[in-house]
Structure 1
């Protein structure tokens, strides 16, 4: 991770940064994980907060979160291949949780559907597995949550 890491946060898709978010998600989910493009982008995009990590000004990773009746749902964490292993995912998670803490009342539930192979990453940040493994878009996932 470079010394010039920055994070852009915006709501909806009316941002000059939206194409960079789409590119990273397409690269990771559609090209690498072979998720159908029609499943990757949905009607939640306009209401979601999107986070984009820039490393020396280059788009490196993304995620999003939005409110539901059950709390705040995190998702679509993706880091470009060139930036993996540099702490980008952790930066995204920390920035998301900080942003949610700013806008949500204390005691709010934050949850996500974690790809099963990466549950340890989220557990280290305080998330707990809730329930059994399930398939989502052909990939094993587990429900994880925490309270902020």
Structure 2
């Protein structure tokens, strides 16, 4: 499955050992994220470390492992869809325009997010963690 992933999902997977982390590491999924994710990670890394419960070195190692599963897409790849994405989600949450633009630019199965407001648009399929847990369990068999 090809999914675009909300930064908060990655942060959640980094903070604690969970089904979210298992899904992130599963070979059954390919994840994409806009390039500004790296800025967000640096911004929230100290908060993530506090909740991680391990050393900074251990967190860096986990980040490296998870990043091997995530394709970071530069803005040039989805820039042409930014105006269309703005019409779709700009009034709901302007910070999510790049996620929709990215999803409109590359063939995919949808966006994995916990943000309920994504469901207010109908252009891109949205998956909740609960839905992906069901899919993950089926694919894991």
The TM-score normalised by the length of structure 1 is 0.33
Higher helix share: 2
Q: Which has the higher contact order (CA 8 A, sep 6+)?
A: 2
The TM-score normalised by the length of structure 2 is 0.34
